[in-house]
């Protein structure tokens, strides 16, 4: 449930709490754990040929980047309510579309930042993706065209729009 502008990321309270919990884990228990892994590997001897040491350092670098991303995201976050059940496509909504207007070829997904993707098996499309930009603001029954990665146009019809419950 995220809506992003250039300088602000809008999050629901649940989305904010989820990201804050991840950041708290990474800056607390995880940092202690990775420091212990690095120290244990360092004690094994020659660092040039120590695969455990290099793997731990690589893992540390990857998660330190994630910590920076989360910190920046949360610093510019504005916490608000989940979107209203208005039938209009917007970030935080679960959208069902029919490809080429074919009601038998449906896809359901959450329009939101991938940062707040939950464990509810929904695909997540960013509002900044070609599909997300094409359908944002559309209503049930509206059609939208967007460009596929191969450069060809694709048409979708909005079939259903409901607020994400997660």
The per-residue pLDDT for 1 is 45
pLDDT at 15 over 80: no
Pick the range with the lowest mean pLDDT from 75-84, 104-113, 115-124: 115-124
Q: Is the pTM of this model over 0.85?
A: no
Specify the CATH number for 93-163; select among 3.10.50.30, 3.90.920.10, 3.10.105.10, 3.60.10.10. 3.10.50.30
Instruction: Give dist(CA 163, CA 60) in Å, integer.
Output: 37
DSSP letter at 30? I
Domain ranges of the chain: 2-80, 93-163
Q: Are strands 143-147 and 153-163 parallel, antiparallel or unpaired?
A: antiparallel
* Overall average pLDDT of the 112-137 stretch: 77
List the structure tokens of 121: 């098996």
Closest CA to 96 of 141, 57, 31: 141
- Output the pLDDT for position 8: 53
Alpha carbon of residue 80 to chain centroid? 17
- pLDDT at position 98: 93
Chain segment 59-68, per-residue pLDDT in tens: 999 999 999 9
Task: Specify the CATH class of 2-80 in words.
Answer: mainly alpha
Structure tokens given for 129: 């993706």
Tell me what percent of the residues of the chain surpass a pLDDT of 70: 83
Give per-residue pLDDT as tens, 48-98: 778 888 888 899 999 999 999 889 888 877 676 666 677 888 887 889 999
Alpha-carbon gap, residue 53 to 100, rounded angstroms:
52
Going through 43-122 in order, the beta strands assigned E by DSSP cover 77-80, 93-99, 106-111
Q: Quick check: do 2-80 and 93-163 share a fold?
A: no
């Amino acid at each position: 449930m995220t809506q992003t502008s250039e300088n602000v990321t809008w999050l629901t309270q649940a989305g904010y709490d989820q990201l804050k919990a991840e950041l708290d884990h990474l800056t607390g228990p995880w940092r202690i754990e990775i420091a212990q892994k690095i120290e244990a590997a360092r004690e094994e001897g020659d660092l040039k040929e120590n695969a455990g040491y290099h793997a731990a350092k690589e893992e540390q670098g990857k998660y330190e980047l994630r910590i920076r991303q989360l910190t920046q995201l949360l610093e510019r976050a504005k916490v608000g309510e989940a979107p209203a059940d208005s039938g209009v496509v917007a970030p935080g909504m679960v959208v069902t579309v029919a490809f080429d207007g074919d009601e038998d070829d449906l896809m359901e997904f959450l329009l939101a930042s991938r940062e707040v993707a939950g464990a509810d098996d929904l695909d997540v499309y960013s509002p900044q993706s070609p599909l997300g930009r094409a359908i944002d603001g559309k209503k049930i029954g509206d059609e939208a065209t967007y460009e596929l990665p191969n450069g060809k146009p694709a048409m979708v019809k909005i079939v259903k729009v409901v607020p994400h419950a997660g």
